[in-house]
Chain A
Amino acid sequence: MFSLLLVITMASSLNIILGYTGYVSFGHIIFYGFGGYVGFYLISQQGWSLWLATLAGGITASLLALMLGSAILRLKGAYFALSTIGANVAMMAFINNITFFGGPTGLSLNYSIYQDYGGPAQAKWLIFYTLFGLALVTVITSFMVKFSKFGLGLMVIREDEEAAKVLGVRTPLLKTQAYSLSAFFPGMAGVLFFFKNGSVEPNDAFPLHQSIEMIVMVMLGGQGTVLGPVIGAGAYEQLRSYLLTSDLFKDLQLAIAGLLLLLIVLFAPTGVIGWLRSRSNELRRILE
């Protein structure tokens, strides 16, 4: 359940930049890892409370996106996608070298810290509810963005960026804001998740393949829709946990996920929600 809530948060956030704005952030996991690292550092080394640290993780992830985005959002299409991969790998290698973040071995928590939150079991529940709240807020934000003037601007950028400029949409500003917003929730989720695990190391914090799994979830459900990422995340997690527990497919989990991705890309590029919407007008009115 933890990972389900996590992936819903991540996929819905990614959808803001990927689905609404049309920029393919391949290395979106960088915000989860970086925000999580900052938050975890504040908790374990500076003695901050979980709540403040979580907020700080979200804010630093957003700031990183603001700085990074104001540079790389000028790039188009595949060049942007490549640069996000580069940024993610650079960040992972960088943190590997930073001693106060623990270098390659990372950081870990003193288990007594869970006592402040009513013992380990209680702390887990607390994180669970917080993560639930975070996922909910993310989906609500995604909904509000889609039906705001801001969201409209983003979708114009997706459809035709040149036309958007001509119409007076301030594209660089809007893109950067969208990128920054889509980094905020993953940053917070990172702190919560690392706190639950009690430790963090570079390889766990910036896994490129998970970054792409997020894209698969968004595509599976339907990019640019509010419900799509939620459904995609749910379905993908179900599939993965089924594959991981079955003896037959355990080793082939990645291969099957790849096959699924290929089938979506080739035959259903609009995803489940997009497909349902194209089936009937009534569904089109209900499903967003």
Chain B
Amino acid sequence: MLEQLLASVIDGLLLGFIYGLAAMGLTLIFGVMEVINLAHGPIMALGMFGVYYLSMEMGLNPYLALILVAVLGMVLGLVIYGIAVHRILDAPELSSLLATFSVNMMIIGLGTAFFTTSPYNVEFSMGSLSLGPIILPWNRVASAIIAVAATALLYFFLYRTPPGKAIRAVSQNRDAAELMGIPSTTMLALSFGIGSMLATVAGGLVATLFSFTILSGATYELKSFVIVVLGGLGNPAGALVGGLILGVMEGVIPVFIETSWVPVIEMVLFVLILLVKPQGLLGAK
């Protein structure tokens, strides 16, 4: 029992880093421009397919493929920002929800036409790592390490580089930042690009672990919502912690009750936190 529990916790933690990475993309966009990106899931799904095509069809190492996927994710984010998001930044929130959802529908629609909804699989294994009684597939360990590295890079970017600082300035006060000579539109577009990049990378990591379809993103999008609310909307560090909490919950709950109850607990928790502590367990910035 104890061993099983320990294994579930470690499994959950490893997965939690990836969840956290995905949620960070969502929370960054919200923090900077108060837009809840409902296209987050499909963008993740595109990341999954990106890794699939680069590794399975073109023979690239999946982890190398991630770098290309990240670049494509950034470009995708910039395009989405330019077409769908920029014009509705100052409109009521219904507009931004619907605009990003329309992007969601377009990606899913085109994706279904191209890829159908049948499952895909990145066949790639690096053996396992055994720690005493616990056996961990290297894929999972590597994915978690990459997720941590990506998080560290994001933090370095946001706190140590001029464009990162500019993004944080814009998120605090767009008008004041503009007066300080920061091109706020560029920074908004850039942060949407980064948010989308994080989503595709997280999607790509998921693809190395599980099979997926074009619709898989929806599940992870919902998880990201839960995580973001756990950690406080707009708080990237909170997203990472929220991701770990959710990962551990998903690992541990099935030890005690049926797996099918996990989404019920997650979603009830989500609504409860929104009601009781909308600033998140850690408090937003």
Using a CB–CB distance below 8 Å, which chain A residues touch chain B? 24, 26, 71-72, 74-75, 77-79, 81-83, 85-87, 89-90, 93-94, 96-97, 104, 208-209, 212, 215-216, 219, 251-262, 265-266, 269
| Whole-angstrom distance between the Cβ of A71 and the nearest chain B Cβ | 6
**Are A90 and B264 touching (Cβ within 8 A)?**
yes
CA of A257 to CA of B107, assembled, Å: 11
Q: Does B94 contact A (CB under 8 A)?
A: yes
| Whole-angstrom distance between the Cβ of A101 and the nearest chain B Cβ | 13
Nearest residue (CB) in A for B35 is A78
Q: Does B150 contact A (CB under 8 A)?
A: no
| Whole-angstrom distance between the Cβ of B130 and the nearest chain A Cβ | 35
**Are A82 and B105 touching (Cβ within 8 A)?**
no
Q: Does B110 contact A (CB under 8 A)?
A: yes
Using A82-B36, A258-B104 as known contacts, say yes or no to A251 and B113 having CB atoms under 8 A apart.
yes
**Are B95 and A269 touching (Cβ within 8 A)?**
yes
Q: Which residues from A are CB-within-8-Å of B226?
A: 86
Question: Which of A75, A96, A104, A259 is the one whose CB lies under 8 Å from B275?
Answer: A75
Nearest residue (CB) in B for A92 is B263
**Are A219 and B263 touching (Cβ within 8 A)?**
no
Question: Which of B93, B98, B258, B263 is the one whose CB lies under 8 Å from A77?
Answer: B93
| Whole-angstrom distance between the Cβ of A74 and the nearest chain B Cβ | 7
Question: Which of B88, B103, B258, B274 is the one whose CB lies under 8 Å from A83?
Answer: B274
**Are B264 and A93 touching (Cβ within 8 A)?**
yes
Q: Does B268 contact A (CB under 8 A)?
A: yes
Question: Which of B98, B222, B260 is the one whose CB lies under 8 Å from A265?
Answer: B98
Using a CB–CB distance below 8 Å, which chain B residues touch chain A? 34, 36, 83-84, 87-88, 91-99, 101-106, 108-110, 112-113, 218, 222, 225-226, 229, 258, 260-261, 263-264, 267-268, 270-271, 274-275, 278
In the complex, 25 of the A-B residue pairs with CB atoms within 8 angstroms, ordered by the A residue number, are A75-B278, A78-B97, A79-B274, A81-B97, A82-B36, A82-B225, A82-B229, A86-B267, A86-B271, A90-B263, A90-B271, A97-B260, A212-B101, A219-B98, A254-B112, A255-B106, A256-B109, A257-B105, A258-B104, A259-B102, A259-B106, A262-B99, A262-B102, A262-B103, A265-B88
**Are B108 and A254 touching (Cβ within 8 A)?**
yes
| Whole-angstrom distance between the Cβ of A93 and the nearest chain B Cβ | 4
**Are A266 and B87 touching (Cβ within 8 A)?**
yes
CA of A212 to CA of B260, assembled, Å: 25
Question: Nearest 7 A-B pairs (CB), nearest first?
Answer: A255-B109, A258-B105, A254-B109, A90-B267, A251-B113, A262-B102, A93-B263
Q: Which residues from B are CB-within-8-Å of A261?
A: 98-99, 101-102, 105
Q: Which residues from A are CB-within-8-Å of B109?
A: 251-258
CA of A261 to CA of B106, assembled, Å: 10
Nearest residue (CB) in B for A219 is B98
Q: Which residues from B are CB-within-8-Å of A90?
A: 263-264, 267-268, 270-271
* A interface: dominant SS: helix
Using A251-B112, A251-B113 as known contacts, say yes or no to A266 and B222 having CB atoms under 8 A apart.
no
CA of A252 to CA of B91, assembled, Å: 29
Q: Which residues from A are CB-within-8-Å of B275?
A: 71-72, 74-75, 83
Identify 20 new A-B residue pairs, CB closer than 8 A, beyond the known A261-B105, A266-B87.
Answer: A71-B271, A78-B36, A78-B97, A79-B278, A81-B97, A82-B225, A82-B229, A86-B267, A87-B271, A212-B101, A212-B105, A251-B112, A253-B109, A254-B106, A254-B108, A254-B109, A260-B102, A261-B99, A261-B101, A261-B102
Q: Which residues from B are CB-within-8-Å of A85?
A: 222, 225
- Most-contacted residue by chain A among B83, B87, B113, B222 (CB, 10 A): B113
| Whole-angstrom distance between the Cβ of B264 and the nearest chain A Cβ | 4
Question: Which of B102, B105, B225 is the one whose CB lies under 8 Å from A86?
Answer: B225
- Most-contacted residue by chain B among A219, A255, A260 (CB, 10 A): A255
**Are B103 and A258 touching (Cβ within 8 A)?**
yes
CA of A188 to CA of B103, assembled, Å: 32
| Whole-angstrom distance between the Cβ of B221 and the nearest chain A Cβ | 10
CA of A160 to CA of B90, assembled, Å: 17
| Whole-angstrom distance between the Cβ of A129 and the nearest chain B Cβ | 34
Q: Which residues from A are CB-within-8-Å of B261?
A: 93, 97
Question: Which of B106, B218, B225 is the one whose CB lies under 8 Å from A258?
Answer: B106
CA of A79 to CA of B271, assembled, Å: 10
